[in-house]
Amino acid sequence: MTAATPTTQDELKALVGRAALDYIGHGRIIGIGTGSTVNCFIDALAQQRERIIGAVSSSEATTQRLRAHGIRVFDANEVEELEVYIDGADEIDPRGFMIKGGGAALTREKIVAAQARRFVCIADQSKWVEVLGRFPLPVEVIPMAAQRIIRQFAALGGTARVRLRDGAPLVTDNGQHILDVTGLAITDPPAFESMVNDWPGVVTVGVFAHQRAHVCLLGTPEGVRTITFDGPGR
């Protein structure tokens, strides 16, 4: 009997979560990101957790899920280099540049990605775009700078709003706030990332161009499409 073709977004996420296991070596420490697609990967990894020594986590939520599965979590400062970093994306383009931060973990995600030799992005096909910017761009900011940074995005044609949770500004794992920016088409992600990172008060912008993906495992109804990104951009 043939397996049913995955069609729902949840089924596609589970498909790429399982596929990412092929990128994990035995006896290594790996980096793990945050989000619903990553949760599918963690649940698949839990069935083979003896393959790895442990993981460096990009968020408190991921840490809790890993520990619940009996997977050891290392502090980033305990590990010099990671074999691979597995994470999702809110958008990914044909050059491997991404928008990330829908789960408010962008700063720690970027830190862990910078420690890894290889970034494997797992995503369903709805995340594939030609130009970044359709998904609201997350920017982690120091709260006292929020209104000035909102005005700086307005000067670029973007509309930035403070992300709220239960009517109050969401507070990240780092104690900061998130702006979500709409109305931008990010045609030069590396230059845009560098520019916004230089604005006083910005902790991290959710464009991942300097830490772009090496490989994308894209879930489609036809199966997992493996896309490898070559050339400059890191």
Domain identity same for 176 and 220: no
Is residue 195 left, alpha or beta, with left meaning phi > 0 and alpha meaning psi from -120 to 50? alpha
CA dihedral 105, 107, 109, 114 (to 10 degrees): 180
Q: Which of 11, 78, 83, 109 is catalytic?
A: 109
Domain identity same for 14 and 106: yes
88 among annotated binding-site residues: yes
Residue position matching structure tokens 């845009």: 192
90 among annotated binding-site residues: yes
Domain hosting 62: range is: 9-129+210-228
Handedness of CA 197, 95, 112, 125 (dihedral sign): positive
Report the pLDDT value the prediction gives residue 7, as an integer from 0 to 100.
72
Domain identity same for 113 and 201: no
106 inside domain? yes
| 56 within 8 A of 76, measured Cβ to Cβ | yes
Report the pLDDT value the prediction gives residue 43, as an integer from 0 to 100.
97
37 among annotated binding-site residues: yes
Output the tens digit of pLDDT for each of the chain's 234 residues.
345 666 798 999 999 999 999 999 999 999 999 999 999 999 999 999 999 999 999 999 999 999 999 999 999 999 999 999 999 999 999 999 999 999 999 999 999 999 999 999 999 999 999 999 999 999 999 999 999 999 999 999 999 999 999 999 999 999 999 999 999 999 999 999 999 999 999 999 999 999 999 999 999 999 999 999 975 444
100 among annotated binding-site residues: yes
| 117 within 8 A of 50, measured Cβ to Cβ | no
Q: Structurally, how many domains does the chain consist of?
A: 2
Segments of the chain assigned E as strands: 28-32, 52-57, 73-74, 85-87, 91-92, 98-99, 119-124, 137-141, 159-162, 164-165, 168-169, 177-182, 202-205, 207-208, 215-220, 223-228
Residue (of 57, 60, 107, 45) closest to 82 by Cα position: 57
- Strand ranges of the sheet holding 52-57, from the earlier edge strand across to the other edge: 73-74, 52-57, 28-32, 85-87, 119-124, 215-220, 223-228
124 among annotated binding-site residues: no
Q: Domain with 91 in it: what CATH number?
A: 3.40.50.1360
What pTM was computed for the model? 0.93
Active site includes 83?
no
1 inside domain? no
Domain identity same for 40 and 118: yes
